[in-house]
Structure 1
Amino acid sequence: MNVYEQVLRVLDDALSLQGRSVAFDRGTPLLGALPELDSMAVLALIGGLEDHFGIAFSDEVLNADVFATVGTLTSLVEQHLSGHPT
């Protein structure tokens, strides 16, 4: 399972999407488009990604832009896994 697929799985779990994430692609909008992604869900999603991938996000990299689409969220995770967080 690649990083993108794992991000979808964590997203599905954190937001209780009940499998709807399988229809998502990298361009699928998240913040503002998914009613499930409210402020509390963002915290759950961050925690879920950190736990799943064994990474920690700094406050400086967490902004609305990284939650814009599935692709931007996946890129954030990939950058942290490569050791090059922006």
Structure 2
Amino acid sequence: MGTTQAIVDILTSTLGLGKRGQSLGPESPLMGDIPEFDSMAVVTVVAAIEDQFDILFEDDEINGSVFETVGSLSDFVDHKLAA
């Protein structure tokens, strides 16, 4: 499973998106577009990503540009995995 699909799966399960999660792709906007994706959900999603990929988000890495789209979040995770 690729990073993007894993991110979609995490978002779908963490946010309880059900079938709406199936429509998520790399260009899908996150912040401001998915009502369930609020500040509390960001914490939950970050924790799930950290667990799944065995990476850590630094506090200064959690910003709007990382969470702009599914693709930007996936790219960020790929960058962390390559480091």
- Please say whether Structure 1 and Structure 2 have the same fold, judged by a TM-score greater than 0.5: yes
Deviation at 1:24, TM superposition (A): 1.2
Which residue pairs with 2:16 in the alignment? 16
Deviation at 1:19, TM superposition (A): 3.5
Which residue pairs with 1:4 in the alignment? 4
What is the CA–CA distance in structure 1 between the aligned matches of 2:2 and 2:56, rounded to whole Å? 19
Which residue pairs with 1:50 in the alignment? 50
**Structure 1 segments unaligned to the other structure (5+ residues):** none
C-alpha RMSD of matched pairs (Å): 0.9
Deviation at 1:23, TM superposition (A): 1.0
**Structure 2 segments unaligned to the other structure (5+ residues):** none
* Runs of 4+ with >4 A deviation: none
State the identity %. 36
Which residue pairs with 2:66 in the alignment? 66
So what's the TM-score if we normalise by structure 2?
A: 0.94
